[in-house]
Amino acid sequence: MIRTFAKHQIRRQVELSDCLWRFHSGDRRARTAWQPVQVPGCWEQLPGLENYRGVGTYERTFEVQGSAPATLRLTCYGVSHTATVLVDGQLAEQHYNAYTAFSVLLPQLAPGQHTLTIEADNRFSPDSALHVPNDCMTYGGIIRAVSLEQLPQVYLRHLKTTPLWNPKGSWQLRVELALANISTTAQRCMPEVQLPELATGYAWPEQRLAAGEERQVQTVLDLPTAQAWSPGMPQLYRVVAQLSQNGQVTDDLIERTGLREIRLDGSDLRLNGRKLRIKGFCRHEDHPSFGCALPFAAIQQDLVLLKDLGANSVRTSHYPNSELFLDLCDEQGILVWEENHARGLTEEQMRNPNFEPQAEACIREMIRVDYNHPCIYIWGILNECASDTSYGRSCYARQYELIGQLDRSRPRSSASCKFLTDRCLDLPEVVSFNIYPEWYNDQAAPAFLTELYTWVQEETAGRGKPFLITETGAGAIYGYRTPSQAKWSEEYQAQALRDQLAAVFNQPGCSGVYVWQFCDVRVSREWFSSRPRSMNNKGVVDEYRRPKLSYAVVQDCFRALDNYRE
């Protein structure tokens, strides 16, 4: 399953999960035995490969229909963490980063059967600046869907929608459509866009594209009868783009939009004019039965629990999440802080020559694919990286600038742990900190937060900006109960979260919180010494989603608070 709605009615798109693939550990030349596996999936779920860090090879065949050669587009939505893609043994594409999609055109494939081979490599090395030994797990495999599309000579390459609240007091939608002529001759076509649920649309004049030409057309649609998207009323509308040639519809591309406006107002974040209160959880894509390749049902089950907890937002810590997850958040009105892939990198790690290209590629790919999701209200970067050094600051500045070029409709932020030393608070629109009073330090939560907030307001350029606590929590081993309330007990975690959340929601000027974290997750073996069970045990549920005592504490707190602060 790629999306929760049909992206095409006309164009033929096939998800390559209709049958098992064959897999063996080692690269494509290795002579290890094949075994049948499902895709998406992680090889850590296979007996004997639970801790395998290396290269794995996936392979299957696919058909080109018809009697003439055809151009296909192959899309991999997530390969962890470095992909090498071959078709009929010929190199087609390579890609780094498990959490962003990539596509490659396969031109003029002959009718009949072809072989697709994908090598996935999850090794740590200087070639990988973002997937490093960490307080989370880099799994191995084809962790999200793979699809093939048969493309016409001129096709709809991209559809971007931006909701606008116009001064007359009604909604508009900017629609940007990218066309591509992949034939060897000039082509004429008629692009149009429709919003069926609103019975409106627009048809552009005929376009003539030279061979190989790519072109963008755009329009702004007035939507006087449209309903807004919000957590309480997540109204979505289909945006259906079509391309006609010689009077026949030859291609289509369907997206969804939600009409909502995120605006900064002093120290407040306003959603459709109302002061937002964030009641959120940080969530890793991690599960003992699926690794990071959670199927639709497992993702939705997590969202069922998050809504039961009274949460209205999820922070995709610390990487872009699957579009299935984002679609479900769009449909259920769950706000998302989505962030590029980085966690706790030192200045030395940020000086890896691969770091900036890989981090910036992740930003480009994340925003390109996820831009249309109304649930995403903010873009985050570089969780707890070296924002307290001048070199680190230069990297933060370039990445904030890049986001600003790609999307001016959303604020930017970064979850920092550089208390009293962060040098980047002038750069983002929203100031965010991860705090663990009563866990990593024994300072009482209110005093710790007041000291931090006062420093930001009095000593930094972050003063007066919206302020979020993007992590707070404590560890608890599921089932460890003790009247002494020792650290790692469920009782201690429950009390710490009670104190931390009270401090956050009593802090004037604070727009809300993300609890660290939703569920216990697997971490790299190198982190074993500070992570009992080689897990990050700060979930309010364990890895099997069994609730700890803290579940009811957070639920009581979140349910008692409205989504808005006024």
Contacting residues toward ligand ADA, per CB under 6 A? 135, 317-318, 343-344, 383-384, 417, 434, 471, 516, 536, 538
Question: In the complex with ligand ADA, which residue's Cβ is closer, 157 or 522?
Answer: 522
Using DSSP, state whether 58 is helix, strand or coil.
Answer: strand
Question: Shortest approach of ligand ADA to residue 45 CB, angstroms?
Answer: 23
**CA dihedral over 223, 225, 229, 235, signed as positive or negative:** negative
Query: Which CB, 2 or 417, lies closer to ligand ADA?
Result: 417
What are 243's two structure tokens? 């391309």
Report the residue closest to ligand ADA, judged by CB: 135
Torsion of CA 133, 134, 137, 138, to 10 degrees: -50
Nearer to ligand ADA, 358 or 524 (CB): 524
Q: Which is nearer to ligand ADA, 317 or 524 (CB)?
A: 317
Closest to 56 in 3D by CA, of 152, 122, 136: 122
| DSSP per-residue letters across 355-424 | HHHHHHHHHHHHHHHHTT-TTEEEEE--BT-STTSHHHHHHHHHHHHHHHHH-SSS-EE-EE--TTT-S-
Cβ-based nearer residue to ligand ADA, 256 or 522: 522
Phi, psi of 496 (to 5 degrees): -60, -45
When the beta carbons of 156 and 342 are compared against ligand ADA, the nearer one is 342
Residues 258, 220, 239: CA angle, nearest 5 degrees = 40
Give min distance, CB of 508 to ligand ADA, in A: 24
Which is closer to ligand ADA, CB of 44 or CB of 135? 135
Tell the smallest beta-carbon distance from residue 231 to ligand ADA (Å). 25
DSSP 322-353: PHHHHHHHHHHT-EEEEE-S-BS--HHHHTST
Residue labelled with tokens 């890989």 = 358
Kindly give, in sequence order, each residue whose CB lies less than 8 Å from that of residue 366, ignoring residues fewer than 6 positions away: 99, 100, 320, 338, 340, 379
Overall size of the chain counted in residues: 566
Judged by beta carbon, residue 172 or residue 493, the one nearer ligand ADA is 493
Distance of closest approach, residue 536 Cβ to ligand ADA, in angstroms:
5
Give the residue with the Cβ less far from ligand ADA, 136 or 146. 136
**Is 313 exposed, middle or buried (CB count within 10 Å of its CB: 0-12, 13-18, 19+)?**
buried
Q: At what angle do helices 323-332 and 296-308 cross, to 10 degrees?
A: 40
Facing residues of 253 across strands?
241
Q: CA-CA distance, 485 to 472, in Å (whole number)? A: 19
Greatest alpha-carbon span in the chain: 78
Q: Is the dihedral of CA 159, 164, 166, 169 positive or negative?
A: positive
Degrees to nearest 5, angle at CA 354 with 351 and 359: 95
* Tally of CB atoms within 10 A around 561: 15
What the block records as the tokens of 262 is 């995120």
| Least CB distance to ligand ADA at residue 431 (A) | 16
CB of 530 to ligand ADA, least distance (A): 8
Beta carbon nearer to ligand ADA, 251 or 339:
339
Buried b or exposed e, range 512-532, using 16+ CB within 10 angstroms: bbbbbbbbbbbbbeebeeebe
Q: Which helix (H) or strand (E) holds 161?
A: strand 154-166
Q: CB of 538: closest distance to ligand ADA in angstroms?
A: 5
Between 80 and 470, CB nearer to ligand ADA = 470
Q: Which one, 96 or 439, has the nearer CB to ligand ADA?
A: 439
For the bound state, the minimum distance from the C-beta of residue 71 to ligand ADA, rounded and expressed in Å, comes to: 42
**Least distance from ligand ADA to the Cβ atom of residue 351, Å:** 20
The region that residue 448 occupies, defined by phi over 0 for left and psi between -120 and 50 for alpha, beta otherwise, is alpha
- Cis check: omega of the bond before 495, within 30 degrees of 0: no
Instruction: Give the shortest CB-208-to-ligand ADA separation in angstroms.
Output: 52
The residue among 390 and 530 lying less far from ligand ADA, judged by its C-beta, is: 530
